[in-house]
Amino acid sequence: MDDIPLKTLLACLVVFIILSAFFSISETSMMAINRYRLKHLAQTGHRGAKLTSQLLHKIDRLLSVVLLGSSLVNAAAASLVTIITIRLLGNNEWSVTLGALTLTFLLLVFSEITPKIIGASYPEKIALPASFVLTPMLRVAKPVIWFVNIFVQSLLWLIRFKTPGSGAAHKLSMEELRLLVLEESHFIPKGHQSILLNIFDLEAITVDDVMIPRNQIEAIDIDSPPGAMREQLSTSYHARLLVYRENLDNVVGILDVRKALANPESGEINAESLTQILREPYFIPEGTPLFSQLQHFKENRRKIGLVVDEYGELKGLVALEDIIEEILGEFNAHSPMQTGMFQKFEDGSFLVEGSSLLRELNRKLGLALPLEGPKTLNGLILEYFEDIPESGTSLKIAGYPMEIVQTQGRFVKMARIFPKLNK
């Protein structure tokens, strides 16, 4: 070493620091890279992405080759600094201590902190090219790494540490997926983002939240006079109607309105002709998640289901269209104020039917009424009072002042909701 020029030793030290920085930046970028984008790039045939995926598949080997290279380079750098310091300052305790402190500073700044910040900021730009260097290094150092890993695995076994399976650490929960969609909103069009978030909600929303309540179901009595039947079918807005006998608890089937009106036999509509074209009713237990029900509709090739409680009593009706609207939004192009269920006043208040679903009010009117308990505005008001309120009664729920406009028997028929008061 005494014959080697000082400039050569300094040049070698610079090379060792650069190599140490390479291992640091490679390790950080490999750990920080987006695994899903990496998988996509690998599937498209990107060579660097394929090599990086192979390295990350065996994370213990990747860390071994990186740490092995880093340790060797840092040890060589420490030896060089000691030689350089002794040549410049002499062989004494102060010179050795100063050399150690200088090397620590150089490695910390140029080989650790700075490279790792860059690697974490641009993982894809660094990890993919670095894989072309680390892959052959891993092959060359495979015997050494295998020998070292024998001791590593033995130590892990002694401390009873179990490594997770491949990919187990990268599984995302539904809430994590939701957060990912929200945080990456600048990459996802707003309409697509809304659809994705609505899909995540399907597990939390049940058929009770979107069903048409029993008292709003349009149905036809199979024992009605033929003239009344034809008139109701001709003026019905719906493509399918419930058919019952005596009352809604005795549903006999689902009727296709167009098929009934297209009867070729003299156009006669009566109980006998309707019975021949009725489809068996399809019942859904209350509390069924919307996502599950969407699957059930597909499996059973149905578009309408009747929601029943634990006693078999009819609670409401849910259609495939209701679930699709929860995902895509309203199909109607006109304003929600034109539906007949809401009337807006100049002061910003709304006249609302008590049978309106709370989820629909929140979505269409931009409210934030609680959804944990009752499903309709009437139920929410009755729960608040624990009694039947009289017309003209005022209340406040979730910060929204309300006024009971009309009651009918045990039911709040109309209520007026005012804008939330700002404190």
Give residue limits of the domains in the chain: 6-168, 207-328, 336-417
CA 357 to each of CA 202, 237, 288, 418: distance values in angstroms, whole numbers, following the listed order = 16, 20, 17, 17
- pLDDT confidence of residue 333: 44
- pLDDT confidence of residue 29: 92
- pLDDT confidence of residue 334: 41
Selecting from 3.40.50.970, 3.50.50.60, 3.30.465.10, 3.40.50.2000, what CATH number does the domain 336-417 have? 3.30.465.10
CB within 8 Å of 157: residues ≥ 6 apart:
none
Q: Do domains 207-328 and 336-417 have the same CATH topology?
A: no
Quote the Cα angle for 94-97-101, to 5°: 135
**Continuous segment of H or E residues that includes residue 242:** strand 240-245
Q: At which residue do the structure tokens 């002042």 appear? A: 401
Written as tens digits, the pLDDT of the chain (423 aa) is 556 777 888 888 899 999 999 999 999 999 988 887 888 888 888 998 999 888 888 888 888 888 888 889 989 888 888 888 888 877 778 888 888 898 889 889 998 899 999 999 999 999 999 999 999 988 888 888 888 878 888 888 888 877 655 444 556 677 777 777 777 767 777 778 888 888 887 778 888 888 888 888 889 998 888 888 888 888 888 888 899 998 888 899 998 888 888 765 545 777 888 888 888 999 999 989 888 999 999 999 998 999 998 888 899 999 998 888 888 876 654 434 334 467 888 888 999 988 888 888 888 888 888 888 888 888 899 988 888 888 889 999 988 999 999 888 888 889 999 988 765
In whole angstroms, give the CA distance from residue 37 to residue 40: 5
- pLDDT confidence of residue 163: 64
Q: In what order do the strands lie in the sheet with 314-319?
A: 212-213, 314-319, 304-308, 283-285
Q: Output the CATH code of domain 207-328.
A: 3.10.580.10
48 alpha carbon, distance to own chain's centre: 30
- pLDDT confidence of residue 92: 78
